[in-house]
Structure 1
Amino acid sequence: MSDASKPTRKRIIDAASKLFYAEGIGRVSVDAVAEKAGLTKRTLYYHFKSKDDLVAAYLDARDQPNLKQMAGWFDDAEGGPDRKVEAIFSNLARVARHPKWKGCGFLRTAAELAAMPGHPAVKAGARHKANFENWLASEFTGRRLAEPEILAREIVLLMDGAFSITLVHRNPAYIEAAGRAAATLVRARGSLGREEESFAPVT
């Protein structure tokens, strides 16, 4: 892709992101995205061969910024890994209190495409969730927590469950409650890890 075409592609993705997140992918037409971007539909189709590809690009564009934000919350929090994990949830609860919060864009898109498991946007969402889970597992491994991969998966389950129930009740307290539960799981794995080390055979 030439440098001259990159700003146009970004304009399209930015416009799509705002519309898809606010209204859902099913309610937003390609014409609406083109209008929002200030471009013709023909120009949009020059960069994206279909709406399906545009929806996938919308989620791919959210992947790294979202991961970087959550990693920042984790790194900036004081205390052990339990407090660092809880800080991610606390910050997500703060974000969820914004009037424009519409839930997790990855989960909402997957729900809209539930009958199309092979859709490129569903695959993009799966990649994002796997990226977060793998990052979290690596953090737990570095801190010598027991069963880091299982623990990371449990945290993801708490997070996505909290996103869903908060969207239903419009009450971010559920995200905060999930954060406390996540911290408890992390502390338990930390204790288990220390116990396993203390009983390690002498060689």
Structure 2
Amino acid sequence: MRRIVLARRRTLIVRRVSQVRLTVGKHCPSLGVREVRAADCGSARREGLSVSGTAYTTCLWFDSEAEAAARYYCEVLPDAVLGEISRMGDGAVLMVGFRLGTQEFTLLNGGPRFPQTEAASISVSCSGQAEVDRLWDALLADGGVPSQCGWLKDRWGVSWQIVPRELMWMLSDPDPGRAQRAMAAMLTMGKIEIAELQAAADADGDAGALSEGRGP
């Protein structure tokens, strides 16, 4: 009986290994089982893929100006790269790809049925007030709408958060009083003003926290 049980186990193991090899062969025909296990997952991530070959892209719905929006974003945003442009049979642009940093986006010309809303936004972490000012002004140009707490809508209705890194440092200050004062000041702002945040956090007389190295 023991021999029969062991034989059945060996049969099951062989079947499972064969199934694994078949699955690997379908997805990675040039790799064996041992090679897949040793594969560098980092290289897949650098290509925007999971180990299984899955890729993730954010799709934004536009009325008809996807190409103009993508080209403008690539002009004003750091680390932005224009990708492929897909056209319909009559030559009209259907989809435009672009990348912000490592994040892939597709802009789709789908007509006016689904307008953009604040329910989804792109958050940009900026270094210093000059970069906050530049991006704020650029994204508001030609019809954008400012909102509160660093939020705005650009001319196409896409929502953005323009957030200085200094804000996050202050909100995570180990002194809860300083963090609360910075938060209260931020809630009164449209565009984030770093100096005003610092002044609010320092209101108890503890001045110059960031300049003295209390930031990260």
Normalising to structure 2: TM-score of the pair? 0.22
Which fold has the larger relative contact order, with Cα–Cα distance below 8 Å and residues 6 or more apart in sequence? 1
Judging by fraction of residues, say which structure has more helix.
1
